[in-house]
Amino acid sequence: MSPISFDQQDGWIWLDGALTPWAEARLHVLSHGLHYGSSVFEGERAYGGEIFKSLEHSERLLRSAEVLDFEIPYSAAEIDAAKRLVIAQNGLVDAYVRPVAWRGSEMMGVSAQKNTIHLAIAAWEWPSYFDPAERLKGIRLDIADYRRPDPMTAPCHSKAAGLYMICTISKHAAERKGYADALMLDWQGRVAECTGANVFFTRDGAIHTPTADCFLDGITRRTVIDLARRRGFEVIERRIMPDELGSFNECFITGTAAEVTPVSEIGPHRYQPGDVTRTLMEDYMAEVQPRAVAA
């Protein structure tokens, strides 16, 4: 990835309805979204020039905003078209796409009913991680101190920027200790997810994953569950307590950025990336490829 700061790259960012030169896509310091966390975003990937499940991401963005009590002034179809424009205008093929919406500056207290809602869409080159042998070594996860909040405490089904405050703190703490990421428990002490990805385990040929009742039910998570069932694997969504972590054989995480990434360690527990993980890594990479349009 480029060492150039993200605000200084070349290219075009779609901002409030128009393509804007990259370095000019700015917001004012008195923006509600910055002061009060009234911002929602998406993380998407384009493969071969096409965004995987673009419409689902656009719809999730609109729902995330609704949960935060604001309405993005574009339809899912308009957002999809804007994302395609950004990819084309920047000449991207394999890319990460970042739509972000936030409350503007008209009101600067907690109340924000009159604030303009802004939407920006940026994209940058981000090739997928292709070396399966290297990847199959697995990543090491710490266990975070912070927990995913109770749904009565935070809008946990929105991809809201504010929810990532504890993710960044947890990921920094993990990286300081030499881990790649951290597994987070939920407010009841159950296994939840990583700081930017969902988690899966295998035992006796079955796949187990925490029920997504207080964290993001990832688009990749649902895709991988479908792929696994198509392969005939049993997939069990249930409450998983940390004292079970030693009883699983394989572990992997899923997310737009992570795709399907094997895990070799969580704290004191060891996993051996194996056939289930390898199969789902391959199936996922096949699934995300652009479909040839029938003549």
Ligand X SMILES: Cc1ncc(COP(=O)(O)O)c(C=O)c1O
Nearer to ligand X, 22 or 47 (CB): 47
Nearest to 245 by CA among 190, 170, 179: 190
Binder among 40, 82, 185, 216 for ligand X (CB under 6 A): 216
215-220: long-range pairs with CB below 8 Å, 24+: 215/148, 215/156, 215/184, 215/186, 216/156, 216/157, 216/159, 217/157, 218/254, 218/255, 218/256, 219/53, 219/56, 219/57, 219/60, 219/256, 220/254, 220/255, 220/256, 220/258, 220/259, 220/260, 220/284
Q: How far is the CB of 161 from ligand X (least distance, A)?
A: 11
Whether 171 is catalytic is: no
Binding part of the chain for ligand X, among 30-38, 84-92, 97-105, 252-260 by CB under 6 A, reads 252-260
Which stretches within 11-144 are classed as H helix?
32-36, 54-67, 76-89, 132-135
Nearer to ligand X, 58 or 220 (CB): 220
Residue number with the smallest Cβ distance to ligand X: 218
3-state secondary structure of 21: strand
Q: How far is the CB of 261 from ligand X (least distance, A)?
A: 11
197 near ligand X (CB under 6 A)? yes
198 near ligand X (CB under 6 A)? yes
Distance, in Å, from the CA atom of 135 to the CA atom of 47, rounded to the nearest integer, reads 19
Q: How far is the CB of 220 from ligand X (least distance, A)?
A: 3
Amino acid (one-letter) located at 21: P
Beta strands 44-47 and 18-21, pairing class: unpaired
Binder among 193, 259, 283, 287 for ligand X (CB under 6 A): 193
43 near ligand X (CB under 6 A)? yes
DSSP conformation class of 67 = H
Binding part of the chain for ligand X, among 76-84, 194-202, 226-234, 244-252 by CB under 6 A, reads 194-202
DSSP conformation class of 295 = -
Q: How far is the CB of 282 from ligand X (least distance, A)?
A: 18
Q: How far is the CB of 54 from ligand X (least distance, A)?
A: 12
Cα 44 to its chain centre, rounded Å, is 8
Nearer to ligand X, 51 or 219 (CB): 219
Site for ligand X in 67-86 (CB under 6 A): none
Binding part of the chain for ligand X, among 13-21, 107-115, 219-227, 243-251 by CB under 6 A, reads 219-227
Nearer to ligand X, 216 or 276 (CB): 216
Q: How far is the CB of 287 from ligand X (least distance, A)?
A: 13
Choose, from 53, 83, 159, 171, the residue flagged as catalytic. Answer: 159
Binding part of the chain for ligand X, among 111-119, 123-131, 190-198, 276-284 by CB under 6 A, reads 190-198
- For ligand X, the binding residues (CB under 6 A) are 43, 193, 196-198, 216, 218-221, 254-256
